[in-house]
Amino acid sequence: MTDRFVPAETDMLVLVDIQRDFCPGGALAVPDGDAVVPVANRLARRFAHVILTQDWHAPGHRSFASAHPGRVPFEAVAMPYGTQVLWPDHCVQGTEGAEFHPGLDVPMAQAVIRKGFRPEIDSYSAFSENDGRTPTGLAGLLRERGVRRCVFAGLALDFCVAFSAEDAVRCGFEALVVEDGCRAIDTGGSLASARARLATAGVRLIRSDGIGD
């Protein structure tokens, strides 16, 4: 049993990081990641407002294990702004891996928020970078457009989707996550931790078949 959810004029669908590198065959492939593509395409047609986020790293980005001699991907290290998981090189600006998944069909998307472009700092959330205080500008964009509620789907549930949804609440928006429109990386307990944080933040998880009109 899922409660119905009816999209309103003041809702924004935020499709997170549905990019080649997060899908099977990509540099940081999320298991079954491309399964979110048809869900995202369907969802996009139910909302008056849709935006995309795009992970967009400078070459040699500090979140890459390759920038830390002796370290390997999925290890956690201390960075000036806190603990950071190290990743394989992924979503490098201008590369094929950074492109949106070729099956993503959302020509109605109104904006693309690129994040993680500063070489020294990672950005999971679509609202602010991992230091928790450098804004991306998304909150201002949403406020200026009269958006009150954000509905998230995309990759990965336990990183960019969860951090974005939590931050949405922090910025004063209501936030929901379409669970079947997401897939997770699940490294080092990240999925359990993300679920707990989402529950604490009051982010509702819904299913795409519960979205009506």
> In terms of CB distance, is 27 or 211 closer to ligand VGL?
27
Token look-up 């491309």 returns: 34
> Please, which residues bridge with residue 50 across strands?
13
Which candidate, 91, 101, 96, places its Cα nearest to that of 55? 91
Which 68-87 residues touch ligand VGL, going by CB under 6 A? 87
Specify the stretch interacting with ligand VGL by CB under 6 A; choose among 34-42, 125-133, 151-159, 188-196. Answer: 151-159
Backbone φ and ψ for 92, nearest 5 degrees, come out as: -75, 135
- In angstroms, give the least distance from the CB of 26 to ligand VGL: 11
Cα separation of the two ends of the chain: 17
Options 44, 156, 168, 175; binder of ligand VGL; rule CB under 6 A:
156
Alpha helix positions (H), 120-161? 138-144
> In terms of CB distance, is 141 or 191 closer to ligand VGL?
191
CB 97 within 8 A of CB 21: yes
Annotated catalytic, 160? yes
Per rule CB under 6 A, is residue 55 in the interface with ligand VGL? yes
d(CA 23, CA 32): 7
Choice among 21, 34, 89, 115 that is catalytic: 115
Which 14-33 residues touch Zn ion, going by CB under 5 A? none
Largest CA distance in the chain: 53
Which 100-129 residues touch Zn ion, going by CB under 5 A? 116
Annotated catalytic, 17? yes
**181: its two tokens:** 């429109």
Contact partner, 27, from ligand VGL, Zn ion, none, Cβ < 5-8 Å per class = none
Annotated catalytic, 171? no
**Burial class for 69, CB neighbours closer than 10 Å (0-12, 13-18, 19+):** exposed
Options 11, 21, 34, 55; binder of Zn ion; rule CB under 5 A:
55
- In angstroms, give the least distance from the CB of 140 to Zn ion: 23
Choice among 17, 21, 34, 122 that is catalytic: 17
> Please, which residues bridge with residue 27 across strands?
none
Could you list the residues that contact Zn ion (CB under 5 A)?
A: 55, 116
Active site residues: 17, 115, 160
Could you list the residues that contact ligand VGL (CB under 6 A)?
A: 17, 22, 55, 87, 155-156, 159-160
